[in-house]
Amino acid sequence: MKTEYLISLDDFCASHNIEVSFIRSLHETGLVDITLIEEVSFLNLEQLQQLEKYIRFYYDLDINLEGIETITHLLFRVNSMQNEIIALRNRLRLYE
C-alpha cells in the first residue's frame, strides 16, 4: 500500500501567507488536487513544489490564473520537447 503524505490546506495557506481561495481556484482549473478527508481539505506533498511555483507566478509576477494555466501547459511542452531532444540525441549517437 502506498503511503500518502498530506498537508492541510489551511496550514499551508497560513504558512505561506496566501488566501485559501487562490488554491481553490487553482483546483477548479485542474492545476492542483485537493483531497477531502472528513470535510477537511488536504494537499498532497508531491505537488507542493509545483504549487509554490504557482504562488510565485501569482503573487510575485502578477500573473493571473489564465496566465498560470497557459504557462504550465507551455512549460510541460518545453519539458517534453527537451526529453525528446535527449532521446533523439541518444539515438543519433548510434550512427556517430
Q: Which residues bind other proteins (CB under 8 A)?
A: 15-18, 49, 52-53, 55-57, 59-63, 71, 75, 78-79, 86-87, 89-91, 93-94, 96
Length of the chain as a residue count:
96
Tell me, rounded to whole angstroms, the distance of Cα 82 from its chain centroid. 19
For 54, list phi and psi in degrees, rounded to 5: -60, -35
User: Cα(38)–Cα(8) distance, rounded to whole angstroms?
Assistant: 12
Query: Between residues 36 and 91, which has the closer beta carbon with respect to other proteins?
Result: 91
Give the nearer residue to other proteins in terms of CB position, either 34 or 57: 57
Cβ nearer to other proteins, comparing 25 with 50:
50
